[in-house]
Amino acid sequence: MASKHKIIAFLLSMLLFVSLANGVPLETICSFTIHPTYCKNVLVNQNGNIYDYGRISIRKSLSQSRKFINSINSYLQSSSSLSQSTIRALEDCRFLADLSFEYLSNTYTTTNQSSNVLPISQAEDFETFLSAVLTNQQTCLDGLNTISSDQRVKNDLSSSLSDDIKLHSVTLALFKKGWVPEKKIRTSWPQNGRHLNFKNGRLPLKMSNRARAIYDSAKHHGRKLLQTTTDEDSVVVSDVVVVSQDGSGNFTTINDAIAAAPNNTVASDGYFFIFITEGVYQEYVSIDKKKKYLMLVGEGINRTIITGNHNVNDGFTTFNSATFAVVGQGFVAVNITFRNTAGPGKHQAVALRSGADMSTFYSCSFEGYQDTLYTHSLRQFYRECDIYGTVDFIFGNAAVVLQNCNIYPRLPLTGQFNTITAQGRTDPNQNTGTSIQNATIKAADDLAPKVGTVQTYLGRPWKEYSRTIFMQSFMDSFINPAGWHDWNGSFALSTLYYAEYNNRGSSSSTSNRVTWPGYHVINATDAANFTVSNFLSGDDWIPPTGVPYLSGLI
């Protein structure tokens, strides 16, 4: 009987696909979006197929993106009359809008040449980019909403953004319906990815002669982390530079080393390898989109430390409060502590923000209080990392898996409660969410004596379609039995997706969890959707980093 139902479902889906490809009314096309009325108003009312309407929507999104950039630039050109907080919010918006324009341009180029489903890896790439366009717009809007002066600027751009977000939502929905194949979830077998040993003094590198000479020089300075072996299972490196504050390396600052990296490299070129010696680096680092495939390796957690104290209370936006920020594709960080020392009284203060597609963090520590780790957008992987914070300290709207990490809630301000996650998905078609697998959740040293007086929750819904999964993780006894906290009354409780699977520890019981429509206790089949292999397609891009990972469930 089950197989009969599958055959019927397959035939129905094929009929739908054929009808979409051959032409259907606009009303039917727009029913696939969450803004059907807006969709019908913005698209040409003629009989076309899903590809015709999809291309129209992508063109309109691209056009609106260009207009929005022009509007921001116009305001910034007359910035002498604007407050510092307004200028910072506008600069965030321009930075994000430039990224979105590139994502939309690349999508348009590809879809303009195709009236069929794309290869699954390519389709996932563009689905990820279009999801990020919505995230970028929402981040800009959130920043504008914090402006207390310059109301004309705020109102003008916020109104434009609200319509643009609807348009980009339609674009994403139609792209998924037309160009994304029906994804077949791979069975998640326990499988370790090929990896190298970063921790115990061995890092096999395959590098050019020039890079080898610099690497040999680094060894002469007593740095034993880099030790070559055979070319088999090696990380491919195009160049190696050393950062050392005592002047014995190639650079004394991290920013100078990053500036020396080539622009717009591709994966096959190998990594530009930056070895950062032990020390406290008081630098604000921002790695832009041109600096691709950088690998930063320190000497260990609490040995190589990058630190700052920017925060919202002192006039920064949450987005630009980050001590370390990266959007360059293929970024890898190993053995580094990222820190924001603003403290709990300064509220939002980001230690690290990543909007870098296919970014990887291994054996790193992220230290802050509110909003420590900003997993902003695109695809990210964290392995064996330590994350410290209080309110919403793992937040953002990336597609991210945190695997084998230690999560340490800290002591918040008096009257505050801790929330580990605040996931920011705003649209059900975004392929984003936070998946936490095989974590260890324990109270930090300052919270441990006071766990009876401070409530700690797994997360709360920052945005309407917030999606977070805890699976196969250890939860110590201090987590509130309800597990999750609301954001504002009933907001998002029926549209969010919060799930738990096979957790352990004193607080893992789900018997007294919230009873929201969007909360689920899931089985292995559902949990497999949120593994490295299925949720991130990580088998395609994590192995070249040399970082260990588990493809599926434990």
**Is 357 one of the annotated active-site residues of the chain?**
no
Q: Give the torsion sign (CA, 268, 136, 309, 73).
A: positive
Q: Give the amino acid at 311.
A: N
Catalytic one among 52, 239, 357, 392?
A: 392
Retrieve residue 329's tokens: 């594709």
DSSP, collapsed to helix, strand or coil, labels residue 19 as: helix
How far, CA to CA in Å, does 541 sit from each of 122, 332, 360, 402? 13, 11, 10, 16
CA distance 39 to 33: 8
Beta strand 391-396 with 365-367 is unpaired
Q: List the one residue out of 401, 454, 392 whose CA is nearest residue 423.
A: 392
| DSSP calls for 231-260 | STTPEEEEEEEEE-TTS-SSBSSHHHHHHT
Contact between 54 and 179 (Cβ < 8 Å): yes
| DSSP calls for 87-136 | HHHHHHHHHHHHHHHHHHHHHHHHHTT-SSPPPHHHHHHHHHHHHHHHHH
> b vs e for 93-109, b when ≥16 Cβ sit within 10 Å of the residue's Cβ?
bbbbbebbbebbeebbe
Retrieve residue 377's tokens: 């957008």
Contact between 505 and 475 (Cβ < 8 Å): yes
The burial class, CB within 10 Å (0-12 / 13-18 / 19+), for 183 is middle
Contact between 108 and 179 (Cβ < 8 Å): no
CA distance 169 to 425: 12
Beta strand 235-243 with 271-276 is parallel
The crossing angle, in degrees rounded to 10, of helices 120-144 and 84-111 is 160
Phi/psi at 548 (5° precision): -70, 150
Retrieve residue 208's tokens: 């050019």
**Kind and range of the H or E run holding 376:** none
- Kindly report the number of other CB atoms within 10 A of residue 380's CB atom: 26
Location of structure tokens 């096999």: 204
Which DSSP symbol is given to 34? Answer: S
**What residues act catalytically?**
392
